[in-house]
Structure formats: structure tokens, C-alpha cells
């Protein structure tokens, strides 16, 4: 079986799909060239360290960076590079933390894995206005949304 190259994988996205790029082994200018080649300007996020994201944005301020946010005391430093969003550790999420990021124009993504993958946990962060839940159980997230919609309809 042929494993597609990075370029082939991006080409397979077509002109509708969005992509989450975990930039492990690619220099910033090569990644930006690939984003532009495949017209992904409005359909991508790039996850990597604050330093890598900062370097990317210095090359192209419109790139959608997503650095990690592991501690609350890092919000100001991460916000200084003006990222598209942050990949926040689950244990620091709160309604106030998400609101603070939103006030700074930063979306909040978070991995909801392991024991946190419950409808109750999903509903909690949805009510806090999280922007993106990264999960191995998307149908559970959909169920949480459906149940919240039912609650608000009654």
C-alpha cells in the first residue's frame, strides 16, 4: 500500500475540507508554501510550539497558528504572538479562561480524551463556549449537543 506524501495528502483535501496540521518535522517556510499551494489559507490550523508559531506568523501573519497552552500563567505570553487559537490542556479549562482567550481574539481548542470523554464533560465545556473539542468520540459530542438543544427547547 502506498502511503501518501504530505503534498499528496493536502491535494486529496480538495477545495472544501479543512486540515489540522501538527507540524512535527517541517520548516516554517515549507509549511507556508504548502498551505498556499493547496489554497488552505482559510481552511487550516497549525499546531506547534509557541516559538514555531511565532516564526510562522512572522513569515505570514494570516497563518492560523495553534500553540499549546498548558498553564494559565502562559496566557499573556501566548496571546502576545496573536495566535488563531490555543490547544488548551483540559485541566486548565474554565468558563473564565475561555472568556479571557475570546476577549483576546483567541479560539480555544482542547483534547478531551480518556476519563474526560463523557457527555457531561462535553456539555460543560460547550456551555463555557469552547470553540473546538478534539476527541476520539465525535458521536458522543454530537449526543451532548443534541441533549443540550433539547434542554434549551423545553
Taking the C-alpha atoms of residue 2 and residue 122, their distance in angstroms, rounded to an integer, is 37
Average pLDDT for the chain: 93
Other beta carbons within 10 angstroms of residue 4's beta carbon come to 10
Give 61's pLDDT tier (boundaries 50, 70, 90). Answer: very high
Same domain, 107 and 76: yes
- CATH number of the domain at 116, please: 3.20.20.190
Cell 488548551 appears where? 88
Same domain, 21 and 34: yes
Which of 28, 45, 66 is the C-terminal boundary of a domain? 66
Same domain, 58 and 114: no
Same domain, 2 and 73: no
Q: 20-39 pLDDT, tens per residue? A: 999 999 999 999 999 999 99
User: Torsions phi, psi of 71, nearest 5?
Assistant: -135, 150
pTM of the model: 0.89
Q: 70-82 pLDDT, tens per residue? A: 999 999 999 999 9
Taking the C-alpha atoms of residue 115 and residue 101, their distance in angstroms, rounded to an integer, is 25
Same domain, 24 and 78: no
Same domain, 96 and 135: yes
Domain total of the chain: 2
The parent domain of residue 134 ranges over 68-154
Q: 14-23 pLDDT, tens per residue? A: 999 999 999 9
Which of 14, 36, 66 is the C-terminal boundary of a domain? 66
Mean pLDDT on 79-101: 96
Q: 115-151 pLDDT, tens per residue? A: 778 899 999 999 999 999 998 888 999 999 999 888 8
Same domain, 58 and 75: no
- pLDDT on residue 154: 64
Mean pLDDT on 74-94: 95
Amino acid at each position: 500500500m502506498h502511503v501518501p506524501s504530505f503534498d499528496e495528502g493536502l491535494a486529496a483535501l480538495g477545495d472544501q475540507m479543512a486540515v489540522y496540521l501538527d507540524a512535527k518535522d517541517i520548516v516554517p517556510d515549507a509549511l507556508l508554501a504548502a498551505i498556499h499551494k493547496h489554497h488552505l489559507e482559510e481552511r487550516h490550523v497549525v499546531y506547534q510550539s509557541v516559538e514555531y508559531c511565532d516564526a510562522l506568523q512572522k513569515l505570514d501573519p494570516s497563518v492560523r497558528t495553534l500553540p499549546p497552552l498548558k498553564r494559565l500563567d502562559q496566557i499573556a505570553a501566548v496571546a502576545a504572538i496573536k495566535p488563531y487559537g490555543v490547544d488548551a490542556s483540559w485541566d486548565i479549562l474554565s468558563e473564565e479562561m475561555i472568556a479571557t482567550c475570546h476577549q483576546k481574539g483567541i479560539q480555544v481548542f482542547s483534547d478531551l480524551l480518556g476519563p474526560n470523554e463523557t457527555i457531561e464533560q462535553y456539555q460543560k465545556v460547550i456551555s463555557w463556549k469552547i470553540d473546538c473539542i478534539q476527541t476520539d468520540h465525535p458521536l458522543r459530542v454530537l449526543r451532548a449537543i443534541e441533549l443540550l438543544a433539547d434542554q434549551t427547547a423545553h
